[in-house]
A and B are shown apart, each in its own frame.
Chain A
């Protein structure tokens, strides 16, 4: 194998946010179509070097200190000033987008690639012959997920392939198959790969070069791709070492599914549609909201007339005015408030849980690495659905509440004509001197403002850093509490302004 390097990192120094020096004045060079292993003790910072080359280091705001230069394709990068993302990374946990189908996971990478290469689609199809493009990520096996993740990374069409411990948890046979696969991909794509590995036995036979992250000298040391030499070096550093799947049924759909490149913004609509269904239009959501509206209509009318302490005669005397008052309060205050609280309580939980899990499983990092503006897509899709959804739902739920109020009134005052209820119940709502358009404006303002504010809270809390499932759970609870409190305050404030 020729050692003419295509990527050279020189004089690299890295200091972690906590002040620990990982490497000083280190050197790394990778040749064309080479498979290079990066080994080292656990916690030595191998993944950090891979993240540096994929442009993800410090993207969570952590203050890394990096200096050095990188030469690639005739250009020099000052690593202390520039973020360099020449590498497409296959994450350790794969970070697949589990709300998308397998085909969509690949398409989204292809559509966001700087230079989409449709020829790569054929290459990826060969990796995924035993996978139905329409199947979900959840229904895919561990080996299938790994190959989907690799295929997705290939479609990003970057000069360097990066693998973060791709063979962890694989049996020796699967690990060997994976190594062969990577070797084969590098040759066929004529691109190098840098693999961070703990277990090198199965990878060494196919590796062209090995770099050891020497924690004693704080440098990158080149080793021969020889098992004994690597083990000896690792042993000297005090670290033990130790050491995949896949097969042809759906080839045609793969090729069809990845036969063209589409404009990236369509993925925004994909997420818009996804959240429209989750946040607004699912049957369970509609049943939940409409049940609440029907109960509000019933409670307002039933308790308004039954527990007025007026007595039966006086109740008839004030019937018209009472009905007018109840209709006015229901339409102006109670229904918009209950709708907003129900909407925010449910959707804030969903939004925060969804975003929190994406953060936890590094999906946003994967998106960033694949140059997918995921945060923007998701944030706007959520906001638009919350705002539009609240308007649609408040209209529908006010209709249901009014209908429920009428039925309850019929039970309370049987034999009275419908129009008597209608002209009184809506008498104040359609007050001619105030105008029903203005009234609807106030209602819309309350609902829209509270929905947007609560969605903002849910997004912010959802996107904050998470390090465990427990953290996600706490975030969900916080999102509900803050969102509902904000909703109550906004409604109270605007209602005071309204009257």
Chain B
């Protein structure tokens, strides 16, 4: 009897141990990515000629309230083809099969198009107010005597130097030449035709001022002449007619894909040049710690904008949530590398997003050409 009990006890222990080990094996097999052959669900053909710089891009579908869900990855296969590897779950699989795909640049216009209209209006109002406040503060600061005396000359010198260096940078050269190359000649011609009479009149007025200033400068220092030229430029830009012509023409010039891509490149180069100047950081440190600027700091709208914009873009549904599309776009933005994403959309989602200014991107057509 006792012997039987011992045997039974040992048998039970053995069975329990085996079950535990089997459980750990099952858990491991369920979560650990085992090496396996990746077979694409489908191959898509690009409907436009584009150069894709990256090999992989995440694919997304949109759920309730246009909230994105990551559903796998797309991989470049030759110059005109993209292979789609969706996640195994049924929702991703079916969504990928039944929707139209667009290859998009991973820039902020994509998450912006997903933001609901009310939020977009709120953000626009807020940004307008914030910019006004910032502008006011900056103008006040810039016009203050202590700024003009202590900071402006050095800052102008640093800025000019940085612009010169940035402009010579190969990346900026390439980006701007692509941007201007993409502008339709008609737009440039129209702008030139509209501005030339106004600029001629201004130049004629400014000529006499310039000559007077030049004569004075013969007995003075060079930067006086520069300030005369700066005043002339400011005068031109302050003219409401010039402003109106620029407002009409600039969207056509700056609205191209190439121009949009050139902006961050220029900004990055300019930023780098500024930071490389050994005078810049100490000067900025002095500005931000100068107690005389305190009464001029932009307050509420600017701060609120900083907290509201990420929240509205991320559109988190609960406290702990993850918006993979926005995270992907922001990562690309910060890294400065050009990235892509593939969006699978239903016809309804497509029409809604196009109304929200979603970039066209490149439509992917299932199958090989």
Contact = CB atoms under 8 A, between A and B. Distances in A.
Contact of B28 (A281, A312, A399): A399
A398 B330 CA distance: 33
Interface stretch (A45-53, A89-97, A121-129, A315-323): A315-323
Interface in A420-438: 420, 422-423, 426, 430
Contacts of B40: none
A416 B63 CA distance: 11
A403 B72 contact: no
B14 to A, nearest CB: 8
Contacts of A306: 320
Contact of B320 (A317, A320, A413): A413
B326 A290 contact: no
B295 interface: no
B21 A286 contact: yes
Contacts of A419: 72, 87-89
B320 A417 contact: no
A313 B314 contact: yes
Interface string B269-293: 0000000000000000000000000
Specify which of A132, A314, A318, A417 lies most central, judged by the most chain B CB atoms within 10 Å of its CB: A417
Interface in B1-40: 2-3, 13, 16-17, 20-21, 23-25, 27-33
A291 B352 CA distance: 50
A317 B331 CA distance: 8
B87 A132 contact: no
A406 interface: yes
Contacts of A269: none
A211 interface: no
B13 A417 contact: no
Given A290-B20, A313-B314, A406 B31 contact: yes
A423 B33 contact: yes
B17 A281 contact: yes
B250 to A, nearest CB: 32
Given A315-B320, A403-B31, A290 B69 contact: no
A255 to B, nearest CB: 19
Most buried by A among B2, B24, B321, B326: B24
B311 interface: yes
Nearest to B328: A320
Interface residues of A, number: 42
Contacts of B331: 317, 320
B323 interface: yes
Interface string A116-144: 00000000000000001011000100000
B92 interface: yes
A305 interface: yes
Given A283-B16, A417-B71, A419-B89, A312 B31 contact: no
Interface string B310-338: 11001010011111101100110000000
A420 B324 CA distance: 9
Contacts of B310: 313-314, 317
A54 interface: no
Contacts of A413: 320-322
B123 to A, nearest CB: 15
A313 B316 contact: yes
A283 B23 CA distance: 12
Nearest to A405: B31
B70 interface: yes
A419 B59 CA distance: 13
Contact of B25 (A135, A316, A396, A430): A396
Contacts of B13: 282-283
Nearest to A402: B31
Nearest to B89: A417
Interface in A166-220: none
Interface in A369-426: 395-400, 402-403, 406, 412-413, 415-420, 422-423, 426
B319 A312 contact: yes
B313 to A, nearest CB: 9
A229 interface: no
Interface size class of B (residues with CB under 8 A): 35 or more
A400 B27 contact: yes
B316 A290 contact: no
A386 B316 CA distance: 49
A343 B326 CA distance: 44
A406 B316 CA distance: 21
A395 B21 CA distance: 10
Contacts of A290: 20, 23-24
Contact of B3 (A132, A402, A412, A426): A132
B3 A134 contact: yes
Contacts of A134: 3
Given A313-B311, A316-B327, A430-B33, A416 B20 contact: no
A320 B335 CA distance: 15
A6 to B, nearest CB: 43
Contacts of B27: 399-400, 402-403
A487 B104 CA distance: 52
Considering residues B33, B311, B331, which has the most beta carbons from chain A within 10 angstroms of its beta carbon? B33
Nearest to A411: B320
B89 A396 contact: no
A283 B20 contact: yes
Interface string B180-224: 000000000000000000000000000000000000000000000
A489 interface: no
Given A134-B3, A283-B16, A312-B316, A399 B324 contact: no
Given A313-B314, A417-B70, A305 B87 contact: no
A418 B33 contact: no
Contacts of A286: 17, 20-21
Interface in B43-70: 69-70
Interface in A272-292: 281-283, 286-287, 290
A462 to B, nearest CB: 25
B2 to A, nearest CB: 7
B322 A316 contact: yes
Contact of A417 (B20, B24, B87): B87
Interface string B81-101: 000000111011000000000
A399 B33 contact: no
Given A286-B17, A319-B324, A419-B88, 11 more contacts: A313-B314, A316-B314, A317-B331, A398-B28, A400-B24, A403-B27, A403-B28, A412-B320, A416-B69, A417-B69, A422-B31
16 contacts: A132-B3, A134-B3, A315-B320, A316-B322, A317-B331, A395-B28, A396-B21, A397-B24, A399-B27, A399-B32, A402-B27, A403-B30, A403-B31, A412-B320, A415-B69, A416-B324
Interface of A: 132, 134-135, 139, 281-283, 286-287, 290, 305-306, 312-320, 395-400, 402-403, 406, 412-413, 415-420, 422-423, 426, 430
Interface of B: 2-3, 13, 16-17, 20-21, 23-25, 27-33, 69-72, 87-89, 91-92, 310-311, 314, 316, 319-324, 326-327, 330-331
The 3 closest A-B pairs by CB, nearest first: A399-B28, A403-B27, A396-B24
